Amino acid sequence: MYSIKESFFERKSLLVASCVSIILLTGCDDNNKDRKVSSSSSSSSLSSASVSSSSSSNPSVSDSPYLGQWHAPAYGYVLSVSADSNSFTVKNYSVTTKDCLLQNVDSNLSLSDLKKDYLHSNTPTEMLQQNIPDYLPAITFKKLEAPPKVCEDNLQKVKTDAGYSFDAKKDFDIFWNAFNELYVYFELRGMDWDKAYDDALTSIDNVTNETELFEFLSAVIAPLGDPHVMLLKAPLKPDLNKSLEEALTKESTSLFYTETQETLYQQLLAEYLQTLGAKDELTATQITAAENYIAENSDKVRSNIFSYADTSSDIEVRAAGEIAWFTTKDNMGYLLIDSMSEYSEEQSGVFSGMDADIAIAEATINEALQDLANTDGLIIDVRFNDGGHDQVSIAFVRHFMSRSQVVYSKFAGSGALQTPRKDVVLEPADKNLYLKPTAVLVSGDTVSAAELFVIAMASLPQVAIVGEPTAGAFSDILIKRLTSDIAFGISNETYLDTLGNNYEGIGIPADIAVPFATPEERNGGYDSGIDQSINWIKQAP
């Protein structure tokens, strides 16, 4: 792997799943094989590492229906809600059939705090539903009579626990078990996970520290080619949410992930490497030259796009530079959406600002569509969009709808543990609707929440998809942790379009196939995607 920073095209956050706030859960599917894999049990004496539902005698707390153990089987996730005095503590456990790890602790929660995160219901059975903004199917937890036996028998010590010692084999078993029970795309991605285990056994004993384990596990998952399967190495605290937020703001954090489709960065890097001939390693000078080549050519792509703006039209830029629009010389609207998150320059990390991002998205799309209301058609460019919040994508889609309708469906897990398929129904926005012909430009850099935007837009009658297949990474990233300071992400969800098609791993195909950013385009000063979109709009009924 060439150590060249991805520059403009580097993922703003690898942990940004379909809804930027990473789901700190785990999940299970029907791949619970009987492989004899063991993870050493650990009977931690720390009270923070025990599964309990103790409560005080305060009626306002002790009588709360939230108290107890709650299980989301398809996510392999257990909540333990306990009470002390006038506050609640929620412990999140990552659970497989083999292992149990305390993953996150939220303490000193008031009842109102708890209700903000979870909705209690007795219909049809007693359950909690994780509160997620509109249109994202909530995760459902069913009441347990007792903690899972695995959490009593095999609760693992983590690095912050007294008496912890690094054990590469134990962490690998936890890692393998989690994928074995959670990951739903082995067949689609063409990987034999049993063979991966057998192959790893030949060398796992040579791994002596976390850095080596990170590299080892990276090699194990690389063949999946799944952008939502990732590794992160950084100090992990009992508040895993906060730990990941802090990690993503630091240059020192180690991240690993792969791509399904070729990205523009990879395309440009390959072009540069061709000029050198076959080489195993690049010199420092060559790395700098490659970075310059990528930056110069990415600038050409951008310059070509903005050359379509009518000279009498201002190019408007909003949302911390993530959204821009203008009117073309042909009286077409052009709307560039580079991300579905990070719209505020004051945000401190990927876990903050979701509500702010949604508000900024709504204000921006209203302003843009007011400016573009008199155009003959619209081109929405998400070819550079690396994802973010599903909710932001939905906020945009609602402005292109004439009626209420299903725009996609979603479920988690597979086999016996598969959750019911839930249709997501959207209502049109109450103002600034745009119902004229609309072309959506896509590429291999169109990822995650951006793909959700595309799959929802594709369900609308006035929309055509133009470009190359998208990345094919829909599932929210389900974060788990090891006993050491390594966290990892798993794809355990399935998104379907309105015809029941699943584009995971292959990407959403374009209605009009057009190559993106070819050398001829970059050097010729034009953009075939925009040209084809304009031609389609002119011919649209």
Q: Which of 13-17, 98-102, 298-302, 410-414 shows the lowest per-residue confidence on average (mean pLDDT)?
A: 13-17
Instruction: Report which secondary-structure segment, H or E, holds 299.
Output: helix 284-306
Q: What would you report as the CA-atom Rg of the chain, rounded to the nearest whole angstrom?
A: 24
CB atoms within 10 A of CB 430: 8
Average pLDDT value over all residues in the chain: 85
Q: What is the pLDDT of residues 294-320, one digit of tens each?
A: 999 999 999 999 999 998 778 999 999
Reply yes or no on whether the pLDDT at 195 is more than 80.
Answer: yes
Three-state SS for 302-346 is: HHHHHCCECCCCCCEEEHHHCEEEEEECCCCEEEEECCECCCCCC
Q: What does the alpha-carbon distance between residue 12 and residue 387 come to, in Å, rounded to a whole number?
A: 9
Q: What is the pLDDT of residues 250-277, one digit of tens each?
A: 888 999 988 788 889 999 999 999 888 8
Contact 136, 449 (CB under 8 A): no
This prediction has a pTM of 0.82
Reply yes or no on whether the pLDDT at 338 is more than 60.
Answer: yes
Q: CA distances (Å), 391 to each of 201, 353, 386, in order?
A: 42, 12, 15
* Site of tokens 């791993």: 505
Q: What does the alpha-carbon distance between residue 177 and residue 208 come to, in Å, rounded to a whole number?
A: 21
Q: Which residues contact 252 (CB under 8 A, 6 or more apart)?
A: 234
Q: What is the pLDDT of residues 446-503, one digit of tens each?
A: 999 999 999 999 999 999 999 999 999 898 888 899 999 999 999 999 999 999 999 9
CB atoms within 10 A of CB 23: 23
Three-class SS state of 507: coil
* Site of tokens 């057009």: 514
> Can you give the pLDDT at residue 7?
32
| Average pLDDT over every residue of 530-536 | 98
- Find the distance separating the first CA and the last CA of the chain, reported in whole Å: 49
| Average pLDDT over every residue of 181-191 | 93
Contact 197, 35 (CB under 8 A): yes
Q: What's the one-letter identity of residue 72?
A: A
Q: CA distances (Å), 77 to each of 98, 104, 151, 217, 502, in order?
A: 13, 11, 11, 23, 25
